[in-house]
Amino acid sequence: MRDFPSCFGENGVQVADTSSSGLGARKGPHNSVTCMYRCKLLGKSCLISIIWSKNIMGQCLSVELDDASNRCICKVDVKPSLFSKRKGSKCFEVNASKIEVFWDLSSAKFGPGPEPFEGYYVAVVCKGEMVLVIGDLRKEAFKKTGAITAFCNAMFISKKEHISGKRVYGTKAQFCDNGQIHDLRIECDSSTNDEPSLLIHIDAKPVMQVKHLQWKFRGNHSILVDGLPVEVYWDVHNWLFGSSLGNAVFMFQTSLSAEKLWSSPTLPDSSALSWSCSDSFMDSKGPGLGFSFFLYAWKTE
């Protein structure tokens, strides 16, 4: 398999300057998943963030609705102390309209991560219509909420996930809205005297390899997943040259406009590009940005 371009080459892209104060240099949660959906709410474009996290007390859930100006409309936090019931609802009054958030985790099954894989639902209802419903208990969600419309206009646009590992980092991933869920595995071998390398597998099949990683610790390359072109960006600077507990940043972007997004002069600071790129969805109203999956891989001892 051929080598991939260095970040110093013509096609190289810097994902994040982890030596600066950007996201790559921050100590973030090592076990959290954020799913972001774009929807129409009260006639306007809005974003719904579903945040799953895990601490010593148990699983946590946050649901946040933001308008096009990045202003929080309403937010629900389900703490582990409330998980004795593991289901409930909360109602908000926004511009004389009722927005309701429902959740049921009473039968939820969790894997090693904070996000359940079955036996649950989370739903957002506005003026009696279902705006968003996730989870496999969709029928139960419609019955509980009494929503009158079975059509949800929300689109899954991005996901951010934090995982930890030593040399191998594995998770489940999809690369477009309603796309197939794949097994994603990233391997980085820097423990020997040989030159470190990076290898990415999807469903146990190698799709990308980066040799001479000490020179190509940042870069990008295109792969095909489910017949769709996916641009892969990586920044493993902290794995190789940072602290022993550093993190790498990966981005899987299905959009053909990914390069424009990453090089946009409107982004505030290229040193925090991974964070800015994620947040740029908050301001973008145009179609065709596709789906983005951000993976923050934390190296442990």
Residue 172 sits in the same domain as residue 225 = yes
Residue 89 sits in the same domain as residue 53 = yes
Total of domains in the chain: 2
Give the lowest-confidence range in 190-199, 245-254, 290-299. Answer: 190-199
Residue 147 sits in the same domain as residue 242 = no
Question: Which of 156, 185, 205 finishes a domain?
Answer: 156
Note the helical H segments in 12-149.
138-145
Question: Which of 139, 156, 173 finishes a domain?
Answer: 156
DSSP, collapsed to helix, strand or coil, labels residue 2 as: coil
Question: What one-character DSSP code corresponds to residue 25?
Answer: G
Could you report the per-residue pLDDT of 78-102, keeping only the tens digit for each?
987 655 568 899 999 888 889 999 9
Residue 282 sits in the same domain as residue 215 = yes
Could you report the per-residue pLDDT of 173-201, keeping only the tens digit for each?
988 888 889 999 999 876 555 788 999 99
Specify the pTM.
0.77
- CA–CA separation, 144 vs 100, rounded Å? 12
Closest CA to 41 of 89, 102, 99, 91: 99
> Does residue 10 register a pLDDT over 90?
no
Domain span including residue 118: 34-156
Answer whether residue 90 is part of any domain.
yes
Kindly report the number of other CB atoms within 10 A of residue 268's CB atom.
Answer: 11
The two counts, helices (H) then strands (E), for the chain are 4, 19
Residue 247 sits in the same domain as residue 193 = yes
Question: Which of 156, 179, 210 finishes a domain?
Answer: 156
